[in-house]
Structure 1
């Protein structure tokens, strides 16, 4: 983290010829449980991780926005007066989309100065760890500070979501930005996506001697392409057919009626959401009553539901989960939007190296590219660093 801060400061100076006003950062997130429930107004339990996106920023004396990053060669320049979602494209749609969304949330973009911004990150891209929300959240908290907008973190989470939905075109829910904004050390964010009520839940991984291991398959996915949108459309069809505003209004007891009314594919999509909501509630209760070591069966069941009912897993994710389970993991599941990305495993600290070796061997045996396997810790949310 310190190295990234220093790198960002140096890169900002090299790019823009001055020192930044300050550095802000926001974490990626991993979802412990509650997948695809967010846009169905359900429950999720993400945690911010100790991988962060850093932004260096300085205000200008004109209305120009200049955006540069460590992951693209181009320097994007745009006048605030010309900012609409129609002119945004590529990677810069994320930071500039946040500027547009701040305007939608009340910022007077005709009265604020332009800025120079440089972005770097150690959140893996395409791994289901929400590198996009980390970027949006870091930019949002920085501009909220320097423009003195006075928005709280829950409002800034909605800003990031609006940017991703409207400027980037990815139909994601509020979970990613909420975790990136509200996270705390060794804790998860229990979020009700209907009311937007958020509660910080003690995980107790450290006390239990458990590590959360990420298995990044390296198989890239994109939320703005078909699979994610198709699943969302199936959920909306299920809710309309069941005559409810969203699938949040259905419980496990409603599934027999749903089976009668829905085609098989739509029913299985609905069953995943309904049972996943219950698993989130059960996980929160189990953490409180029994502790972290007791949630493994819920993680395992979540993966089965995503594999069989929601059909968003892939062979690499299934192999990662099964190998972790066979080598001492308390529980394991794929995480993120699916069709690639990462799996997570909750692992006793003394078994981490054994699981890493086993997963490397299993992937080699199946002819898959070597995954990136690493541990993460629950971290604090978006903040000013310097």
Structure 2
């Protein structure tokens, strides 16, 4: 995906832009957020536990159904050229670029028996792409929520999660789990979403940052990644190999007590991958308990331990992420970690409100000293999930 537009925009502005482009008003406007994964990285496709929350960076779509089989799509970013396709001819090879996400949703809906038809769509997104904040899932969830309403398909939010995952897996070619779509569709203000990826059961966990005078600062390193290629797929394959060699259906089955035996049966690299998943699952469970018992001020050490595991055992960090985390911790952060699939993207730091400017300045200066591109900074709060807004 190309870089997304980052300026907030109102529902009415999106509707007005749609009307200007297409010559008539939309049937409605829908929005779905990106997400920050508080903790639980690469555990989702291992049937494990995750704890994401929705953020106030969102994909917004204005949509109007058509009487024919034509889909016309245009976005606020990239070359801003309209893409026109015949819905009836959709196949894997015809869906490329950013339109693979909305058109992929349409293709999956058709595979599930929904009578899909043509539509016009305008997209405005403020979720930075390639930053580990789930810009693609935000688009999928906004579009699936809109089309679910307009087609009268009556899928539940949890069913829409699986539609988004199928889009990623079968159309985009990214072997992702259900974390991103679950955060975007199931979220609520002031809460994180605890998700058991094996049972798909979830519940909301209080994450009252403002009440504790805390902020989560996102540091976008500007190092981009792509889930459909490279290390993400390699890590997933390594986890599947580890489970196979240990004779378990998934790494979710393992506990820390079984790691010494695993070390004897696995090569060193596969063992480290397995150890990350096992210990990360436990950190998610511990974080939920701590949030319930003591609140967000007490979770910093768990976040930092998660980063160390991703850096050393799963090896998905990079120099920029490591510097952002270390510098934040040295300047008042209670905890910090990379978030997202890895190999670039964003770090998050849990900081007292009074320390925000100090941490920002320190990380900025550290990147300048390393002669790296200046990072972007913004704070996020747990917000609501996908919904119709006009």
Residues 1:290 and 2:287 are matched in the alignment: no
Residues 8, 126 of structure 2: 8 Å contact kept: no
Is residue 214–residue 345 contact of structure 1 (8 Å, CA) maintained in 2?
yes
1:346 aligns with 350
Q: Counterpart in 1 of 2:22?
A: 16
More displaced stretch, 289-298 vs 5-14 = 5-14
Are 2:72 and 1:66 aligned?
A: yes
Mapped contact 1:234–1:269 kept (Cα < 8 A): yes
Instruction: Say whether residues 1:75 and 2:82 are aligned partners.
Output: yes
Q: Pick the aligned partner of 2:185 from 176, 181, 184.
A: 181
Q: Distance in 2 between matches of 1:178 and 1:23?
A: 21
Aligned mates of 1:2, 1:163 — CA distance in 2 = 26
Q: Deviation string for 1:256-305 (max 9, x for gaps)?
A: 11100100000000000000000000000110111111101100100000
Considering only aligned residues, what root-mean-square deviation do their CA atoms show, in Å?
Answer: 1.1
Q: Whole-Å Cα distance in 1 between the matches of residues 93 and 193 of structure 2?
A: 34
Q: Partners of 2:296 and 2:86 in 1: how far apart?
A: 50
> How far, CA to CA, are the matches of 2:77 and 2:113 in structure 1?
31
Alignment of 1:186-197 (within 5 A): 186-197=190-201
Q: Does residue 1:203 correspond to 2:207, yes or no? A: yes
Contact 1:217 1:316 in 2 (8 A): yes
Q: List runs of 5+ in structure 1 lacking aligned partners.
A: none
1:138 aligns with 2:142: yes
- Specify the alignment match of 2:4 in structure 1: none
Aligned to 1:299: 303
Contact 1:216–1:372 (8 Å) recurs in 2: yes
Q: Matches of 2:352 and 2:292 in 1, distance apart?
A: 19
Residue 108 (structure 1) shift: 2.8
Quote how far apart the aligned CAs of 1:6 are. 4.0
Range moving further from structure 2, 77-86 or 41-50: 77-86
What is the Cα deviation at residue 83 of structure 1? 1.8
Matched, 1:34 2:58: no
* TM-score, normalised relative to structure 2: 0.96
**Alpha-carbon offset, residue 10 of structure 1:** 3.0
Unaligned runs of 5+ in 2: 1-6
Residue of structure 1 aligned with 2:104, choices 93, 97, 100: 97
Counterparts in 2 of 1:107-256, with a 5 A limit? 107-109=114-116, 113-256=117-260
Residues 305-316 of structure 1: matches in 2 within 5 Å? 305-316=309-320
**Which region of structure 1 is more displaced relative to structure 2, 74-83 or 231-240?**
74-83
The question of whether the paired residues in 1 share the 8 Å contact of 2:332 and 2:355 is answered with: yes
What TM-score do you get using the length of structure 1 for normalisation? 0.97
The aligned residue for residue 3 of structure 1 is: 9
